[in-house]
Amino acid sequence: MNDNLISSENTADNNAKCPQCQTELTQFGQFWICPQHGQVSLDESKPFEPMRIFFSYGHDCNEELVRLIKTDLEKRGHNVWFDKNEIKGGDNWRHKITDGILKSHRVISFLSKHSTRDPGVCLDEIAIAIGVKGGNLKTILLEPETEVSPPPTISHIQWMDMHDWQKQQAAEKEQWQQWYEEKLDEIISVVESDESRQFSGEIEKLSGYLKPISSDSRISSLLSRGFVGREWLFKTIKA
């Protein structure tokens, strides 16, 4: 991994302490992290609640950045569904993916030329997310807009633009650090927003009443015909 691709953590200058164990906190942008308790709130009136976040991404040169974002979200206490961690040899990976989306509060789709190819597993993941999560999906652009072809179903969703991340990474360390921290703060703000949490709760409540997944023809069709991709899994099994 490139030495310039580093975590966004900074030790707090004012020696802020975890209210639970009094361990010195580390600052991520405007947030505070305890090595034992994850993200903590110095405002006791608004406690932190971890989220389950599904990552949909392509196995290409952008995976390095995707993994960095995953690491930083997990350091904050969130649970990130990442295929190479969740899918093991012998698993029915189609059902694992569907189950991962269904059980997540939030879906983040990383858009690149590879991930938006048709046919492709990421398009199937987006289709399922739109069907069962509605508007609770965030998209992040990893390559120039002219090279990416996102499906019309997410054309109304404003993506976060990180297409120049490799150029930023190659710049001075301080410039890259500042750029990345600003983008990470934006991701965190969206994931942890009250609107996102409320929407997720409403979708879960409706799912409990309506049980829509069992009769969803779109998902049934995807599971029956199989997803395209996951060559890395087949290579691992063969090895």
For residue range 3-19, list pLDDT tens digits in order.
Answer: 555 454 444 445 677 76
Q: Are 226 and 94 in contact (CB under 8 A)?
A: yes
Provide the domain limits for residue 175: 49-238
Q: Which residue has the tokens 């290579």?
A: 235
- Comparing CA positions, the residue from 136, 138, 141, 144 lying closest to residue 187 is 138
Answer yes or no: is 117 within a domain: yes
> Do residue 106 and residue 164 come from a single domain?
yes
Q: Are 26 and 40 in contact (CB under 8 A)?
A: no
- Judged by DSSP in three states, 93 sits in helix
pLDDT tens, residue by residue, 164-203: 999 999 999 999 999 999 999 999 988 887 665 544 444 3
pLDDT tens, residue by residue, 40-81: 766 554 567 788 999 999 999 999 999 999 999 999 889 999
> Do residue 168 and residue 142 come from a single domain?
yes
Answer yes or no: is 149 within a domain: yes
Q: Is the pTM of this model over 0.75?
A: no
- CA separation for the pair 102, 123 (Å, rounded): 16
- Comparing CA positions, the residue from 4, 15, 10, 13 lying closest to residue 28 is 10
Q: Which helix (H) or strand (E) holds 68?
A: helix 63-75
Residue 146's domain is classified under what CATH number?
3.40.50.10140
